């Protein structure tokens, strides 16, 4: 089985396993106690903090360990917003942040705060000027991920951090996906990360808060971790997380070159091997091991099952894999196809032969799914000037498939109105037009759902 979902969770690094086993015998005592076992546990905890701080690029007393990366995000955002409440109650986030950031923003907004969502380009990147325009006198905090978790696009953190610093606004950076490759550049104020993203054990997050940033921890006061992370420290897991971060950093430079070559191979070959495919994300400013592509007329969940049967564990940004029945907010913000998406995220050490085998298996897997869904292979010009497709009650990609089936029956210059009550259609039909070179006229109100109007250009 080839595991290609490292962006969700990387396999446990051998160094993490060794450190975990060793520290289970040495780090079980309370590090706050003064007796021998407590002092030994404290030494392990302090050494782990120093190693993690070095990797992050901060002082050891600026960094605390949390119960998860999500908890680090929640604590970081809430702490800064509370500490700067006299400045104002305005929060800035990008439209493609991790759900942990967006969920915290929703809670803040529900409590009376205001939130600005900065849009992204079709490649998933924010424009620093958009952050500058969003800054206000009452802005308490801005958030920007270092790299996107679904498409791998690297964000201009250094530029945005400089703009925020000039305005006196702290910037929180979610570095969960990028920390394995190196420290985050720029004058950031708060940083979060998660150990299971780089091959450490799950249940360990990092929260770094620079000196001088107003920060008020929320919840009951706790004497551990500078009052920013309540509860008894999981020292063996913390030690393993710090040890594995140092280990992966030691091999990051060489692996970055090798994995970038492999993902570039996927980016170049997939559109040649599979018809009607769009490779998404920035082609240059991206993480080494992540590549995402969208297949027209494909149900994402079905395709993932086919690839699983073929021996490949991959992920998808499709709505059908999230249990929410709504399109991925990242793909939606980018304006690309929300169905039929495959995210390949290669772990460190992935053999080139496994990538070649994936490329050999993929075309038949996609073709098989399309055949099951009855997707059309081509269309030619027909006599009609207008058609209506009733796709009400059908989930994407079916509305898009139904559109493609009849599109050849419309003359050049004619239109098709697709009736659909699936939210994903609002994204997928315009994306279909973009990929096919046809004109998306717009959305019209309908008695039920919406009518999406498409005009044939060729």
The active-site residue out of 58, 164, 295, 320 is 320
The residue among 188, 175, 164, 172 whose CA lies nearest residue 81 is 172
| Residue 13 DSSP class | P
- Contact between 143 and 79 under an 8 Å Cβ cutoff? The reply is no
Query: Phi first, then psi: what are they for 158, rounded to 5°?
Result: -60, -45
246: left (phi over 0), alpha (psi -120 to 50) or beta: alpha
Q: Is residue 145 a contact partner of residue 118, using CB atoms and an 8 Å limit?
A: no
Q: Does residue 447 sit in helix, strand or coil?
A: coil
**β-pairing, 290-295 with 277-280?**
antiparallel
The DSSP annotation for 112-146 comes to T-EEEEE---TTSPPPHHHHHHH--TTEEEEE--S
Q: Count the residues in the chain.
A: 458
> Annotated catalytic, 295?
no
How far is Cα 298 from Cα 302, in angstroms, rounded to an integer? 8
Decide: helix, strand or coil at residue 9. coil
Q: Which residues are catalytic?
A: 320
């Amino acid at each position: 089985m080839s595991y290609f979902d490292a962006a969700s969770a990387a396999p446990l690094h051998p160094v993490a396993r060794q450190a975990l086993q060793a520290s289970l015998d040495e780090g079980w005592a309370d590090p706050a106690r003064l007796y021998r076992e407590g002092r030994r546990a404290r030494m392990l905890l302090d050494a782990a903090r120093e190693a993690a701080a070095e990797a992050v690029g901060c002082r050891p007393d600026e960094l605390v360990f949390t119960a998860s990366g999500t908890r680090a995000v929640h604590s970081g955002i809430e702490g800064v917003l509370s500490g700067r409440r006299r400045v104002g109650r305005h929060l800035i986030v990008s439209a493609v942040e991790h759900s942990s950031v967006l969920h915290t923003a929703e809670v803040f907004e529900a409590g009376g705060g205001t939130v600005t969502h900065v849009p992204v380009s079709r490649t998933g990147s924010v424009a620093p000027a958009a952050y500058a325009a969003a800054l206000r006198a009452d802005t308490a905090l801005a958030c920007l991920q270092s790299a996107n978790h679904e498409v791998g696009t690297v964000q201009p953190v250094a530029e945005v951090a400089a703009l925020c610093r000039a305005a006196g606004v702290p910037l929180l950076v979610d570095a969960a996906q990028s920390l394995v490759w190196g420290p985050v550049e720029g004058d950031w104020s708060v940083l979060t990360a998660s150990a299971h993203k780089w091959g450490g054990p799950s249940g360990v997050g990092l929260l770094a808060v620079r000196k001088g940033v107003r920060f008020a921890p929320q919840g009951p006061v706790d004497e551990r971790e500078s009052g920013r992370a309540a509860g008894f420290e999981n020292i063996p897991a913390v030690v393993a997380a710090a040890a594995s971060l140092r280990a992966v950093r030691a091999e990051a430079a060489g692996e970055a070159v090798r994995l970038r070559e492999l993902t570039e191979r996927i980016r170049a070959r997939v559109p040649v091997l599979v018809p009607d495919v769009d490779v998404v994300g920035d082609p240059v400013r991206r993480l080494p091991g992540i590549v995402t592509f969208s297949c027209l007329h494909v149900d994402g969940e079905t395709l993932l099952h086919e690839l699983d049967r073929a021996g490949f564990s991959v992920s998808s940004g499709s709505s059908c894999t999230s249990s929410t029945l709504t399109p991925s907010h990242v793909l939606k913000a980018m304006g690309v196809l929300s169905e039929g998406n495959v995210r390949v995220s290669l772990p460190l050490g992935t053999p080139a032969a496994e990538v070649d085998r994936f490329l050999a298996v993929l075309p038949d897997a996609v073709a098989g799914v399309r055949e099951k869904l009855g997707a059309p292979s081509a269309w030619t010009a027909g006599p009609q000037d207008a058609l209506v497709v009733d796709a009400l009650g059908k989930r994407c990609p079916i509305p898009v498939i139904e559109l493609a089936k009849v599109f050849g029956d419309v003359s050049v210059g004619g239109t098709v109105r697709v009736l659909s009550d699936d939210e994903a259609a609002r994204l997928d039909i315009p994306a279909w037009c973009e990929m096919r070179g046809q004109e998306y006229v717009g959305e019209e109100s309908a008695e039920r759902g919406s009518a999406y109007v498409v005009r044939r250009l060729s």
